[in-house]
Amino acid sequence: MEPRMNLMSQPKALKAMGHLAAVHKEVVDAALSATTAELVNIRASQINGCGFCTDMHTKEATARGETDVRLHLVAAWRDATVFTEAERAALELTEEATRIADAAGGVSDEVWANASKHYDEQQLLALVTQIALINAYNRLNVATRNTGGNYTAGQFG
């Protein structure tokens, strides 16, 4: 499969992605652990079939010390014992917020309440923002057929 366009060669795309990165810095960095953010990124990217983002975030997580076992089990987190209750709540929220069209009411009250047990309001804002951001990146990459496999950890700073 050939990419439809190189987003990195498009000045307007780079500018737009810079704005997304600024939102991340403003909202997410201070309130959400890098480990949780990467788990969220990986799970949403798996659901959306984004090879580029799945490649990127598994490599970034590995570079930060994440274990192979946990990375291999992200897709099956419900049946794995290697995630904390807080991480499980974040993954559950990620799935419902990513598959928002599949549920008539969006994110259920039960899933939100479970996440609220583990994250304060600032952290919930960061978590929801991270989910929205990775879904935006996934859509950019899937629509343009930006493929995975060639990312190097730290490539974007």
Q: Do the beta carbons of residue 37 and residue 130 sit within 8 Å?
A: yes
Q: Do the beta carbons of residue 57 and residue 41 sit within 8 Å?
A: yes
Q: pLDDT band for position 90 (50/70/90)?
A: very high
CA distances from 103 to 88, 96, 99 (A): 19, 8, 7
Asked whether residue 18 is domain-assigned, the answer is: no
* pLDDT confidence of residue 3: 82
pLDDT in tens, 5-44: 887 788 888 898 889 889 888 887 889 999 999 999 999 9
Highest mean pLDDT among 78-87, 100-109, 147-156: 78-87
Asked whether residue 81 is domain-assigned, the answer is: yes
Asked whether residue 61 is domain-assigned, the answer is: yes
CA atoms within 13 Å, Cβ hemisphere of 74: 26
Q: What is the 3-state secondary structure (H, E, C) of the chain?
A: CCCCCCHHHCHHHHHHHHHHHHHHHHHHCCCCCHHHHHHHHHHHHHHHCCHHHHHHHHHHHHHCCCCHHHHHHHHHHHHCCCCCHHHHHHHHHHHHHHCHHHCCCCCCHHHHHHHHHHCCHHHHHHHHHHHHHHHHHHHHHHHCCCCCCCCCCCCCC
Q: pLDDT band for position 110 (50/70/90)?
A: very high
What domain count does the chain have? 1
* pLDDT confidence of residue 80: 98
Q: Which residue has the higher pLDDT, 79 or 30?
A: 79
Q: Do the beta carbons of residue 101 and residue 83 sit within 8 Å?
A: no
Closest to 38 measured CA to CA, from 28, 48, 26: 28
pLDDT in tens, 136-150: 999 999 999 988 989
Pairwise CA distance, residues 154 & 157, whole Å: 5
Q: Which domain holds residue 105?
A: 31-143
Q: Do the beta carbons of residue 61 and residue 38 sit within 8 Å?
A: yes
* pLDDT confidence of residue 140: 92
What CATH number is associated with residue 38? 1.20.1290.10
Asked whether residue 16 is domain-assigned, the answer is: no
Asked whether residue 85 is domain-assigned, the answer is: yes
**Percent of the chain's residues with pLDDT above 70:** 100
The mean of the pLDDT values for the chain is 93
